[in-house]
Amino acid sequence: MKKSHILAIVVIAAAIGIIISTAGDASTYVNFSQAYEMAATGNNSSIHVVGHLKKDPTGQVVGLNKAPDNLSFSFVLVDDNNKEQNVFYNEPMPPDFTRSENVVVIGGYQGDNFVANKILLKCPSKYQEEGVTAGI
């Protein structure tokens, strides 16, 4: 067997290994009900939930609760099945949070509360900006 063949086999093996491990370590996007079930069945892996902030008819975010020192906050996230869930986040509120169109929370249920370890924001594209806000 030529050395190049051995190398090729090793490379293919490594590539397959990488793909399998990626699949193994990949998290999943789920909704809150699925996340709750996972936690209830003892699966504590971190998952992603995509949702949007709960807003009243005038477009104000509701259910936002900042800790007195601004050190942590909780908010109501509505998932794609329209299930509302209070989410706790042990960090100060990120800038742009209330303007975000979509929020992705990464974390899991602890009891009946969803605790996020990380939050990703998708801010509105500029053609959907809600209006002139600054400098009027």
The only residue of 1, 26, 57, 111 in contact with another protein, by rule CB under 8 A: 26
The only residue of 9, 16, 19, 62 in contact with another protein, by rule CB under 8 A: 19
**Per-residue binder mask for another protein (CB under 8 A), 80-119, x = binder:** ----------x-xxxxxxxx--x-x-x----------xx-
Contact 113, 86 (CB under 8 A): yes
The only residue of 71, 81, 84, 113 in contact with another protein, by rule CB under 8 A: 71
What one-character-per-residue DSSP string does 68-136 give? TTSS-EEEEEEETT--EEEEEESSPPPTTGGG-SEEEEEEEEETTEEEEEEEEEEPPPGGG--S--S--
Distances (CA, A) of 100 to 14, 41, 121, 126, 130: 40, 32, 6, 12, 11
Residue 52 touching another protein (CB under 8 A): no
Cα separation, 118 vs 136, whole angstroms: 35
The only residue of 1, 25, 42, 111 in contact with another protein, by rule CB under 8 A: 25
Binding site for another protein (CB under 8 A): 2-4, 7, 11, 14-15, 18-19, 21-23, 25-30, 45-48, 50, 67-72, 90, 92-99, 102, 104, 106, 117-118, 120, 122-127, 129, 131-136
